[in-house]
Amino acid sequence: MTVRATARLQFHKDFTLDHALQLVPYLKALGISHLYASPLLTSRPGSTHGYDIVDHHAIDPELGGEAALRRLVAALRHQDLGLILDIVPNHMGVGGADNAWWLDVLEWGRASPYAEFFDIDWEPPDPALRNRMLAPFLGSAYGECLANGDLVLRFDPADGRLFLDYFGNRFPINPRDYPQVLRAGGEPIAELAHSFALLSSAGGRDALRRQAAAARAALRDAAPEQRQVIEAALASYNSDGPAGRDRLHRLLERQSYRLAWWRAAADEINWRRFFDVNSLAGMRAEVPEVFDATHEFVLALYAEGLIDGVRIDHVDGLAEPRAYCRKLRRKLETAAAFRPRELGSDPAIIWVEKILAPHERLPTDWLTDGTTGYDYMADVAGLLHDPAGEKPLTDLWVGLTGRPGDFGEEARAARRQILRESLSSELWATAGALHRVARRDLATRDYTLTAIRRALEEVLVHFPSYRIYSGLAGISEADRRILDWALAGARRTVRSADLPLLELIGKWLSGTELRSVPAGARRQERLRAMVRFQQLSAPTAAKAVEDTAFYRYGRLLSRNEVGSEPGHFCISPAAFHAANQDRRRRYPRALLATATHDHKRGEDTRARLAVLSELPEAWEAALNRWMRLNAPLRREVDGSPAPDAADEVMLYETLVGAWPLDLAPDDAAGLQVFVERVASWQEKALREAKRRSEWAAPNLDYEAACRDFLIQMLDPGRPARVVVEIAEFVGRIAPAGALNGLSQTVLRLASPGVPDLYQGTEFWDFSLVDPDNRRPVDYAARQQALDADRTPDALLASWSDGRIKLAIIARALAYRARAPGLFAAGSYHALKVEGRLAEHAFAFARIHEGRAAVIVVTRLAGRLPGIEARPLVAYNAWQGTSIAVPRSLAGRQYHDVFGGPGRTGSAGRLLLGEVLSALPVAMLELR
C-alpha cells in the first residue's frame, strides 16, 4: 500500500489496540493512509512506551495480544489503510522477571545459548567479573540489602526453579548449586538433590540443560511433604541471622552474576546498555542468530500483510547500521512474495530513527526510506526564526545568567561530565579494547590504559555527530571529515605528551589500515575496538547534548529540540528549499515530523517561542521586570539563589511557550492544572541539567524551592500579579505563534516526503517533554470538529480553539489523496518572493504530469500589522509583495484548497495580499 500520510499513536495498557480500532473511521476521514504504531511486541508489564521489549515473538497482552492486532488490521484494511510498526533491535527490557533470554543468561552464564545475544564483555579488565556479569539492580548497597533481608531465596513450584527474589526482580540460581541448597533439607529430598548432582557428569551444553530440565521437573512434581522440606532448606538461607546471611552470600558469589547497587553500573557494568539505563540491555543484532530470533515474528507479520513497514528505533546503537538495514531490506523483499496481492507491490517502508548533525546526510546505500523526521523538524522550525534575534537573545541570556552564549561550550562541558559520571564504565571498556590493540604491537605496547582513556575522552568531547561507520572497508569521506573535526578539537585540549597517542587512536578508529592486519583474532580485535567506540559516541551525544546541555542552555528553548543544534539559530529560505530538493531526490518517502513522543516541546509551543526571535526587546523587558518582581520569592539553598538565574529564565520561557490559549489568569482551577504540568517539567529539567540537582542524587531542597517559586509566582491572589502579566504577554505573541504553527503544518503537508501526525496534534499542541506529550487525547472533540466540515477561513475568528488547524490538515490530506503523484513524485520548484515584505513569505511549487500546486506560507509576522488579534497579516500590509510563478504555470486557473469555492484566481504574478487575504497559508491547486 502506498504510504501517503501517517498518524502516530502511542500504545500502552490504558490505550490498547482495541482503543485504536475505534479511531479507524476518524483517521480515514482525516486523510491518513497508515497508522504508525509505537512498539507492540511484549514489553515489561506496565510499560508506558513499549521500548522495553521482553519477548520478540508475541504482541503485548496488555495491548490486547495478537487477536486485537488482527481486529485492528482488519478494520484498517476495510478502510484501505495500512500499519507501520516501530521495532527495537538495539536493546531489550531486563531486570524484573519477564525476559526469558535474560533470565537464562543469569542462570547459566556463558553456557547459556543466549549469552551471545546480549552485548556482554565476559572478560573485562576487572578480574572479579571474569565470566560473570554485573547485575546492578539493587536499590541500595549489596551488603545493606543482604543485612535487611531484602534478598530472599525462593522456590517456584510452577517450574521447579530456585531463584533469588528482590522485590519482584528474579535472579535464577544455577542448577549446579541446587544440591547444596537441597541437602540442607536432609533425607526427605536427598534423592532430588542427587538428581541435580548428576549435572556434573552431563556431557555438553545441550545434555546439561536436558538433565537440568528433568531434575527441575522432579522438583516441580515433588510430594507435599517434600515441598515442606524444600521450604525448610530455603529457610536456612534466610539472611536474618549471621549464618543464613553468610550462606546466602556464598551461594550468590558462585552465580554468573554479581548483584550490585544500581549506582555501581556507571563505573563497573560490563554489558552495553541503552544509554545509561540499567533496565535496557544492548542486543547484538549483527549476529545472524540474534537477528533471526528478534525479527522472525516481525517478518511474519509483514509477509502475512499485517504490517507494511517498520521504524527502526535508535539505529546508531547497532554495531553495523548499514549492514543491518541492508539485511532487513533483503529479508522484507523476500517476505513480500507471500503478501496478499490486494496490498499492492510497493516496497516495505524502512525509517530509521537517527539524529543527523547539520552537516550530515543519511547514506543512500543503507537502502532505507530515510529518517523518522527529526532533521525536517529542525529545518522547518529554523525557517520560522528571525536571524536578527540571535545576537540580542544571546546577549540577554549571557547577561542575565552568566552562562555561556556558545552552545558548543555547554555541550563540551556536558560531554565531559557524562563520560566521567554516567558512561565511565563504557569509556573504560572502549579504552580497554584499544589498549588490547596497542599491546599487540611492540611499537605501541607502552601506551597505558589510562593514557588511552585520557586521549579517547578528548576525542569524544569534541565529536560533532552521533557516530561514524568505519569498518573493514575503511572510512567514507564524510566520516573522515567528522573524525578529523574531533581530532582537531582534541589536539587543542589533550596533554602535549598524548599528541602522538591521539594520532594513533585516530588511525585505529578510521580503520584505514585494517585490511593490512592479517585476518583472524588481531583483525577482529581492531574491528571490535572500532565498533565499541562507535557505540559509545552515540550515547555520549544523546546523554550530553539532548539530555543535559539542552536543559542548561536557554537562549531560546524553541531551538533546543531533538534533531536540532541550538547553536544553529535559524536557517535561510534558500537552505530550506535546498533541503526539500535534496530530500525529494534522495529520500522521497522520508518521514516528515514536527511532533513526536520524544520531543522536548510541542510543535506549537516551539512555534510560539519562535516569535521571541522577532521581539527580543519586548522579551528582554518582560524578563527583567518579572525577575525583579519575583525576587522576594527566591530563597537561598546551598548558598545560592533558588531558582538560580538560568533555571528562572528557562521557567519563564516554558510558561510563555506552553500557556494554554483558554487559560485566564484568575482561573484558579485551570492554573492549578497548568502548574502541575509545569512542575513536572521543572523537576525533570533540573535533574537532566545536572547542575543543582540530578537523577542520581536529587537536591530535594533546591527542587522544593523551585517548585514553591513557581506556585507562588502563578498565585492569582499575589499582589505582584505577575501571572496577569505573563498571560498578557502570551496574548500578545499567541496570534503570531499560531500563524507559525499553521505555516509549519502546511509546509509539513506539502514538502517532499511523508507527513506524520503525532497523536492529538490536529489541535494546538502546547505540550512539554514526556510524560506531558503522551497525555490522553480527546478524540471525540476532534471527530466532532472534522464532522462539522467547516472551511479554515470560516474558523479564523475562533482560531484559539484549534479547529482551524484540523481543518487545514484535513483539506491538505484530501488534496494529497486526490493527487498522490503530485506529492509523492512531483518536482519541486523554489518560488521567488519579491517586494518590501519578501522575507515574510515562503513559497514553492510541486509539478507532476500536468498537475501543479503552489504552496505559500507567512513567516516572521510578529511585527506586521493585523497580527495583534488573529493569525493573519493585514491585507494592505503586503504592499504589493508578490510571488513570481514559472512561465509553464502562468495563466492557469487556481483554486485554494483551504478557502472554499469562492477563493480562485489566475496564476501569473501572485499578489500576497490577495492569496493570503483570508488565511496566513495557501495551497493553490492549479488547473
DSSP class of 543: I
User: Would you state the pLDDT for residue 190?
Assistant: 65
The amino acid occupying position 666 is D
* Model confidence band, residue 185 (pLDDT cutoffs 50, 70, 90): low
198 closest CA partner among 189, 208, 188, 190: 208
DSSP track, 815-852: HHHHSHHHHHT-EEEE-EEESTTGGGEEEEEEEETTEE
Give me the percent of the chain exceeding a pLDDT of 90.
Answer: 90
Average pLDDT rounded to a whole number, residues 15-41: 98
At residue 793, the 3 state secondary structure works out as helix
Which residues contact residue 257 at a Cβ distance below 8 angstroms, ignoring those fewer than 6 apart?
Answer: 106, 109, 132, 133, 134, 135, 171
Q: In 626-650, which positions are buried (b, 16+ CB within 10 angstroms) versus exposed (e)?
A: bbebbeebbeebeeeebbbbbbbbb
Average pLDDT rounded to a whole number, residues 260-286: 97
Average pLDDT rounded to a whole number, residues 715-742: 95
Q: Is the pLDDT of residue 215 over 90?
A: no
Element (H, E) at 43: strand 41-43
Q: Is the pLDDT of residue 151 over 90?
A: yes
Q: Is the pLDDT of residue 202 over 80?
A: no
Q: Is the pLDDT of residue 237 over 90?
A: yes
* Model confidence band, residue 719 (pLDDT cutoffs 50, 70, 90): confident
User: Would you state the pLDDT for residue 226?
Assistant: 84
Q: Edge-to-edge, what's the strand order for the sheet holding 882-884?
A: 832-834, 882-884, 909-911
User: Would you state the pLDDT for residue 617?
Assistant: 98
- Could you tell me the pTM of the whole model? 0.96
User: Would you state the pLDDT for residue 224?
Assistant: 87
User: Would you state the pLDDT for residue 500?
Assistant: 97
Structural contact between residues 891 and 905, judged by C-beta atoms closer than 8 angstroms:
no
Supply the mean pLDDT for the chain: 95
Among 97-111, 191-205, 887-901, where is mean pLDDT lowest?
191-205
Average pLDDT rounded to a whole number, residues 852-856: 97
Give residue-wise pLDDT tens across range 524-552: 999 999 999 999 999 999 999 999 999 99
Q: Is the pLDDT of residue 902 over 60?
A: no
Give the Cα separation of 649 and 645 in Å (integer): 6
Give residue-wise pLDDT tens across range 636-692: 999 999 999 999 999 999 999 999 999 999 999 999 999 999 999 999 999 999 999
User: Would you state the pLDDT for residue 198?
Assistant: 66
DSSP track, 660-707: -TT--TT-HHHHHHHHHHHHHHHHHHHHHHTSS--SSS--HHHHHHHH
Average pLDDT rounded to a whole number, residues 880-906: 83
Q: Is the pLDDT of residue 203 over 80?
A: no
Q: Is the pLDDT of residue 900 over 60?
A: no
Maximum distance among all Cα pairs of the chain, rounded to whole angstroms:
101
Query: What is the number of other CB atoms lying within 10 angstroms of the CB of residue 700?
Result: 10
User: Would you state the pLDDT for residue 891?
Assistant: 85
560 closest CA partner among 576, 540, 546: 546
- List, in sequence order, every residue forming a beta bridge with 43; answer none if it has no partner: 53
Strand 591-592 relative to strand 635-637: parallel, antiparallel, unpaired?
unpaired
Q: Is the pLDDT of residue 195 over 80?
A: no
Average pLDDT rounded to a whole number, residues 607-635: 98
Which residues contact residue 378 at a Cβ distance below 8 angstroms, ignoring those fewer than 6 apart?
Answer: 358, 561, 563, 564, 565, 568
* Model confidence band, residue 192 (pLDDT cutoffs 50, 70, 90): low
Q: Is the pLDDT of residue 901 over 60?
A: no
Q: Is the pLDDT of residue 572 over 90?
A: yes
Give residue-wise pLDDT tens across range 816-844: 999 999 999 999 999 999 999 999 999 99
Among 89-103, 230-244, 643-657, 894-908, where is mean pLDDT lowest?
894-908
Which residues contact residue 494 at a Cβ distance below 8 angstroms, ignoring those fewer than 6 apart?
Answer: 454, 455, 458, 502
Structural contact between residues 199 and 176, judged by C-beta atoms closer than 8 angstroms:
yes
From the number of C-beta atoms within 10 Å of its C-beta (0-12, 13-18, 19+), residue 26 rates as middle
Instruction: Find the DSSP H helices in 282-352.
Output: 288-304, 321-336
